[in-house]
Structure 1
Amino acid sequence: MSSATGRRLGRGSVTILWAAALLLIGGAGLESLTLALAFGEVQQGSSALLQATDRLGAHPEQWTPDRISAAGRLNRTAGPLLERGCARLQSNPIPRAAGGLPVAGADTTAVLDLCDAGIAASRSLDDFLRVARAYQAVERDPAPPGARFIKLLSETGAPLRDADARLRPVLARLRQDLARPLAPPLRAKVAEAAGRLADAEQRAALGLGMSEQLGPALGSSRPTTYLVLLENPGEMRPSGGLIGSVGTITFANGAPSQLEIRPYDDYNRLLKQRFPIPSPLDRLMSFYNNALEIGDAGWDPDFPTTARLAEAMYKSATGLDVDGTIAFDPYAISALLAVTGPVSVPTFGTFSAADVYAQLNYIINVQSAYPHEGKQALPVVGREVLKTVLAQPIAAWPRLLDVFQQQARGRHLQIEVHDAALAKSLAAGDVDGSIAATPGDYLMVVDANVGATKGDLYANKSMSVRSEVYADGLSRHLVTIDYSLPAFNDDLARALNPGDGSYRDYLRFYLPEHAAVAGVKAALDSQPSVAAPVNVTQEHGRAVVGVFFILPPQHSLRLQLAYEVPLQVGRSYSLFIQKQAGSPGLPTDLLVSYPGGRAERHLALDRDEEVGYRW
């Protein structure tokens, strides 16, 4: 965070400032000499700031006492130089005179804003040094990990708040500069600086949010209990996968004090009320007592909606209330193991980042006589992974937090809480798994495997989107999704895909509310096929187009949806493509034609993507 900011302002802004000096110094005399001295001080200060940030390092494992001390000394040199140099620039009549010119004025303002950004970076580095010292102190603390984590959150709040307050306004000014006509080299540097500062400010804001709200969420003031949903995207459902296991985790003073996870079907016979089966799931699958089961509570891709339903079902079965819901999948577990290393679990073996998903599927569906029996491995493995995560040294905590953030962005981790302030922060950070409320064009493709197989582990999927945007505000789209299913030639594949192994899927397209559907086509092995009737509804302020299909092994299927969307007339266009929770990614080719232009992009779609064009 600090290193990136310093590097930006150390090299990029110095080049621009000196280039601007050549343009601004129009005559000899004291003003020109003062201006030259100012640029010299800014150059020296930026160089010292760069050395300071490099010396500190970007990761806590680099934050040794010697490095913290050296970075502090360098920044104490950098700060005064930057402040004196920028003060000379701001008071010098030559830049002020250039500021009155129509074109040079915008460039001069941008140069001065870059200078101010350097000062903000130096002062925020002081804040990050305080954070580094807090890490050092907590690492030496003999208290339990949970208590140390709560202490760290408490002591880093003030410096992170200060860093966020310093970085946010200079970032806003750089963005304003980018909205004005600038010389091309200067524009490139300002854009680069704004990008780096945006990343630093976002990290400071995220850290501040955690320091203010994560403590209470982890039981700093009272024990907190969350419903836990372990989803299996091998049997994809709209919320991220079949909810194979359900339980609770209780936090007290920053650490888990209790973890209970059971197979979802343990709860079915305990339900005190009947929960209706959503349409058309009631026509596609059969259920115990003709009522919705908690394992299928994830029929809605909007995770807060799924969480509320799962909590109601859990309370019906147990009579217990919770403080929120946490859902995660094996991809998230694998990412954690990539940081902690392999975990050995008595009776069940060793699990690593590379094989945890495959091993769990084998234990549950092949090694055990019955899946319910195999699912008993899940709470045991989960507890061992959790113990290993908690045993990590303080220096590894930021990497673990990075994993949590990355998995949340990929929607492999979703969290819904009842605390209003924390819920707002989670929504702002895209951690709550909600359907995005975006003003422009929108698309989300949602699979629901209704065949009781693990076909999503084997099906190959890809998408192409062809969009034509017109000056009158209309956009037309053709979305093509290709599926192919291989033959199941080994015992594991056949066990995970029983019966004839066909992939039975209810596919939904989420579109802007006022989208008009032109039609849906299907082709099996390149031959036109009759798809099931198309179901068009409205959910969460979106138009939803649903279609059911069956894909046998060794066959391929292509589905195409044509539709158009009325948009606000203007000279720009944006398309937000939201990924489905649990999906490892959906390779997508995007082609957009707009007035006077055409653009192609390939997206992995392993996280939400937004593209925009102007004309």
Structure 2
Amino acid sequence: MNRYLRYLILTISAALLLFVVLNFSSAMNLVKVYSISTSAKANLQKSLELLQANNFAEAAVYSGDAADSLALAFGRLEAIEGNFWVKRSNSLLTQVNDLEYMIKTAQVLAKSLSAGAIIGEKVNAVLQDKPGVSFSDLKVEDKTAVLKLIYESVPDLNGIKANLDLTLMDLKKVDNSGFFGPLQKQMTLAKDELQTGAELMSKTITLSQLLPVLAGYPNSSNYLVLLQNSDELRPTGGFLGTLGVMQTKLGDLVNFRTSDAYHLDMPASLDPNFKVASPVPIAKYLSTDRWFLRDSNWSPDWPTSAQKIQWFYDAEAKYNSDPAIKNTPKFDGVVAITPRLVTDLLYIVGPITVGGREYNKDNFTNLLQYEVEMAYRDKGVSEWDRKKVIGDILKELKTRLFALPTDRYLDLMGALNINIEKKNILFYFNDPQAQITARSLNWGGEIKSVTGDYLMLIDANLAAFKTDRVMEKNLSYSIEQKDGGAVAKVVMTYKHTGGFDWKTTRYRSYVRVYVPLGSELIKAEGISDGLVTKGEEDFGRPEAAKTYFGGFVSIEPGKSDTLSFEYRLPQAITTAIDSGTYSLYLQKQPGNNIGSLNTSLRFSNNIKNYSDNFVSVNQSTGGFFSAAEAFEADRFINVSF
């Protein structure tokens, strides 16, 4: 027995010695991979430090060296992968493949850093010796160079985005149960950060395509700017009380003038031949059969309303005696903003003083409404000129924004991104390609084209002053399977917390709910005059077609009321549920301050998994899902059973 054991040990030892000899080159390659990777890691860390110090030239060198080193390491790993013994061991081969994925990930990241550093160096070359300079302080040729660089950097940015996507794909291939198992938490964080980076880069690319267009590069641009008062809510965000015409050229705001919407409506209204039939609800609840610019944002689909607004502007301008209005150049697009955007911008630039009054982020809306509704009389300002102060405020705000040092641009970008998500700013471009880009950025405010379930509730304040500011609103949406189909219910509760004064009165809103095409109304409750409207709209895009139900609500100060619509969803949605899938898109109306959104979905089968963007999910067990949160942005959920 002892002789047998000695023989076995000698045999194993000989086999191990033979394995080491046969795999000596692979072992040396592995040592070399470790050495190269360690050096590359140091170069990447140095590159990041240099980027943070705005030393883009040296950062590009270090990240480029790291990419070259990692390419060598990857070649060594490929040699190991070709080893006779490695190829015949699934376990060893898996570990080598995982190492390859990790090396490839680091290599692609290094290339991305290098490409980003090169773009940064180009910017530095334009802004040499101008650290922290504001855009308005740049010479015309420097502004042109910056816009040209942004305009021409899109292909490079697309390359970085492709690299990030490739990196994420490689990282997802790593077997977390193998050699890298102990690093699973760190790898999950890395994947999340890469995903966020890829999404940010996608937005940067589209922004780089639109920013030069908005800034008047390579050709000058003219935009119609609308201030939508969300305290007097209308379908696209608020009443169109103030209009502005903005001309940009090579990064400069060449001209920006504002006027009261009534300055266009009034002259046109004096001509009996100018007669455009109002939408039925406007005719009925505003008691006017003529339609004018101030009410032209009636469609909840922003592109549809933007086109209609431009039509009214052009049609009414012909009747105007002001040459600046009558001879307005053709618009390149329409931009709509709500007061919330202005307050957020005031937070960045600080208080501004106009007409002896200080406007800041806390008092802007209330003070401005008081100035244009009441105080102008005491100042001897005519009713015709009472809104001139709005133009003065926006001009001063523009001056302060253009004077921001470059190190505040990230704050500005953050504020703009939040306001875009909350639809406090909407864009429409007459150029088809620019409009496609705006839609991809979710700047377009269009009614969404979806194949599954859908809901959008639209309030339209009709002769209720600024009463939306004192309304507490809560929206709930629920579905359940019954009677061989899917039944949905929308409930909107209104609470009037104001009174009768110069700002507020009884609340009067014409409400529409847009739902999947082919939905059938079962019952509607809470409509003040009992008149329910039903119809279909496709907004010029058949794929976006929706059914809508509507009605008028009137609520006295201090009172509450509830409006509800119950309806059967189309058979296509029931069929999808029976086949194991369900999707829902909840679209927010711009400017509508809905305090809570409660979503309740009840299915016959258990939910296997789902993806969503809800902030707060209450329950997702069995066949039931519920969520509750403030309705500040669009929400969606995709479910499988």
Q: TM-score, normalised by structure 1?
A: 0.82
Report the alpha carbon displacement of residue 249 of structure 1 after superposing the two structures with TM: 0.7
Which residue matches 1:478?
A: 489
Which residue matches 2:284?
A: 283
Report the alpha carbon displacement of residue 460 of structure 1 after superposing the two structures with TM: 0.6
Match of 2:554 among 550, 555, 570: 550
Match of 1:349 among 348, 357, 370: 357
Q: Is the 8 A contact 1:535 1:546 kept in 2?
A: yes
Q: What count of residue pairs does the alignment treat as equivalent?
A: 565
Match of 1:128 among 116, 119, 122: 116
Amino acid at match of 1:283: K
Separation (CA, whole Å) in 2 of partners of 1:604 and 1:95: 59
Which residue matches 1:232?
A: 229
Q: Is the 8 A contact 2:585 2:635 kept in 1?
A: yes
Structure 1 segment 254-333 matched on structure 2, within 5 A: 254-271=251-268, 273-287=274-288, 290-319=289-318, 320=328, 321-333=330-342
Separation (CA, whole Å) in 2 of partners of 1:449 and 1:552: 14
Q: Is the 8 A contact 2:515 2:547 kept in 1?
A: yes
Separation (CA, whole Å) in 2 of partners of 1:604 and 1:96: 61
Separation (CA, whole Å) in 2 of partners of 1:507 and 1:101: 68
Q: Is the 8 A contact 1:462 1:586 kept in 2?
A: yes
Separation (CA, whole Å) in 2 of partners of 1:511 and 1:138: 51
Pairing 1:496–2:503 present = yes
What CA deviation, in whole Å up to 9, does each residue of 1:83-112 have, x standing for no partner?
333343444328999999999999986764
Report the alpha carbon displacement of residue 365 of structure 1 after superposing the two structures with TM: 2.1
> Given the superposition, is the C-alpha separation of residues 362 and 135 from structure 1 closer, same or farther in structure 2, using an over 3 Å criterion?
farther
Which residue matches 2:16?
A: none
Pairing 1:562–2:560 present = no
Which residue matches 2:614?
A: none
Which residue matches 2:145?
A: 151
Q: Is the 8 A contact 2:296 2:308 kept in 1?
A: yes
- The 3-state SS of whatever aligns with 1:611 is strand
Separation (CA, whole Å) in 2 of partners of 1:187 and 1:274: 68
> Given the superposition, is the C-alpha separation of residues 521 and 232 from structure 1 closer, same or farther in structure 2, using an over 3 Å criterion?
same
Which residue matches 2:374?
A: 366
- The 3-state SS of whatever aligns with 1:270 is helix
Pairing 1:605–2:605 present = no
Which residue matches 1:422?
A: 434
Separation (CA, whole Å) in 2 of partners of 1:73 and 1:352: 46
Which residue matches 1:161?
A: 155
Find the structure with the greater CA-based Rg. Answer: 2
Separation (CA, whole Å) in 2 of partners of 1:402 and 1:459: 29
Structure 1 segment 100-249 matched on structure 2, within 5 A: 112-139=100-127, 140=129, 144=138, 148-157=142-151, 161-168=155-162, 171=165, 174=168, 192-249=189-246
Separation (CA, whole Å) in 1 of partners of 2:176 and 2:49: 30
Match of 1:533 among 522, 531, 534: 531
Separation (CA, whole Å) in 2 of partners of 1:98 and 1:342: 69
> Given the superposition, is the C-alpha separation of residues 108 and 449 from structure 1 closer, same or farther in structure 2, using an over 3 Å criterion?
farther
Separation (CA, whole Å) in 2 of partners of 1:278 and 1:113: 61
Separation (CA, whole Å) in 1 of partners of 2:184 and 2:282: 53
> Given the superposition, is the C-alpha separation of residues 70 and 453 from structure 1 closer, same or farther in structure 2, using an over 3 Å criterion?
same
- The 3-state SS of whatever aligns with 2:120 is helix
Q: Is the 8 A contact 1:227 1:248 kept in 2?
A: yes
Report the alpha carbon displacement of residue 39 of structure 1 after superposing the two structures with TM: 5.4
Amino acid at match of 2:493: D
> Given the superposition, is the C-alpha separation of residues 74 and 364 from structure 1 closer, same or farther in structure 2, using an over 3 Å criterion?
same
Which residue matches 1:614?
A: 640
What CA deviation, in whole Å up to 9, does each residue of 1:454-506 have, x standing for no partner?
11111011122223469x9x543222222111143xxxx72201xxx211111
Amino acid at match of 2:278: I
Match of 2:44 among 49, 64, 83: 49
Separation (CA, whole Å) in 2 of partners of 1:146 and 1:587: 48
- The 3-state SS of whatever aligns with 1:322 is coil
> Given the superposition, is the C-alpha separation of residues 485 and 35 from structure 1 closer, same or farther in structure 2, using an over 3 Å criterion?
farther
Q: Is the 8 A contact 2:300 2:458 kept in 1?
A: yes
Which residue matches 2:580?
A: 571
Q: TM-score, normalised by structure 2?
A: 0.78
What CA deviation, in whole Å up to 9, does each residue of 1:283-322 have, x standing for no partner?
11134xx311211111111111111111111111224431
Stretch moving more, 212-221 or 459-468:
212-221
Separation (CA, whole Å) in 2 of partners of 1:426 and 1:154: 20
- The 3-state SS of whatever aligns with 2:631 is coil
What CA deviation, in whole Å up to 9, does each residue of 1:33-84 have, x standing for no partner?
6446535644664465356435534xxxxx544xx46644653553344333
What CA deviation, in whole Å up to 9, does each residue of 1:224-274 have, x standing for no partner?
211111100000000110001113111122211111111111111233732
Report the alpha carbon displacement of residue 208 of structure 1 after superposing the two structures with TM: 3.4
User: Unpaired segments of 5 or more residues in structure 2?
Assistant: 1-18, 319-327, 539-544, 607-621
> Given the superposition, is the C-alpha separation of residues 396 and 534 from structure 1 closer, same or farther in structure 2, using an over 3 Å criterion?
same
Amino acid at match of 1:356: F
- The 3-state SS of whatever aligns with 1:240 is coil
> Given the superposition, is the C-alpha separation of residues 267 and 48 from structure 1 closer, same or farther in structure 2, using an over 3 Å criterion?
same
Amino acid at match of 1:508: R
Q: Is the 8 A contact 2:171 2:191 kept in 1?
A: no
Separation (CA, whole Å) in 1 of partners of 2:580 and 2:364: 49
> Given the superposition, is the C-alpha separation of residues 419 and 198 from structure 1 closer, same or farther in structure 2, using an over 3 Å criterion?
farther
> Given the superposition, is the C-alpha separation of residues 132 and 487 from structure 1 closer, same or farther in structure 2, using an over 3 Å criterion?
same
> Given the superposition, is the C-alpha separation of residues 282 and 53 from structure 1 closer, same or farther in structure 2, using an over 3 Å criterion?
farther
> Given the superposition, is the C-alpha separation of residues 127 and 212 from structure 1 closer, same or farther in structure 2, using an over 3 Å criterion?
same
Stretch moving more, 303-312 or 146-155:
146-155
Q: Is the 8 A contact 1:469 1:476 kept in 2?
A: yes
Amino acid at match of 2:563: L
Pairing 1:448–2:460 present = yes
Pairing 1:412–2:409 present = no
- The 3-state SS of whatever aligns with 2:362 is coil
What CA deviation, in whole Å up to 9, does each residue of 1:203-230 have, x standing for no partner?
3343334444532443234322111111
Report the alpha carbon displacement of residue 426 of structure 1 after superposing the two structures with TM: 0.5
Q: Is the 8 A contact 1:328 1:412 kept in 2?
A: yes
Which residue matches 1:60?
A: none
Separation (CA, whole Å) in 2 of partners of 1:102 and 1:442: 49
Q: Is the 8 A contact 2:168 2:191 kept in 1?
A: yes
Amino acid at match of 2:503: L
Report the alpha carbon displacement of residue 170 of structure 1 after superposing the two structures with TM: 5.1
- Identical aligned pairs, as a percentage? 19
Separation (CA, whole Å) in 2 of partners of 1:248 and 1:133: 36
What CA deviation, in whole Å up to 9, does each residue of 1:152-204 have, x standing for no partner?
23224555532422432652674698699975968876665454334323333
> Given the superposition, is the C-alpha separation of residues 100 and 362 from structure 1 closer, same or farther in structure 2, using an over 3 Å criterion?
farther
- The 3-state SS of whatever aligns with 1:589 is strand
Report the alpha carbon displacement of residue 445 of structure 1 after superposing the two structures with TM: 1.3
Pairing 1:462–2:474 present = yes
- The 3-state SS of whatever aligns with 1:202 is helix
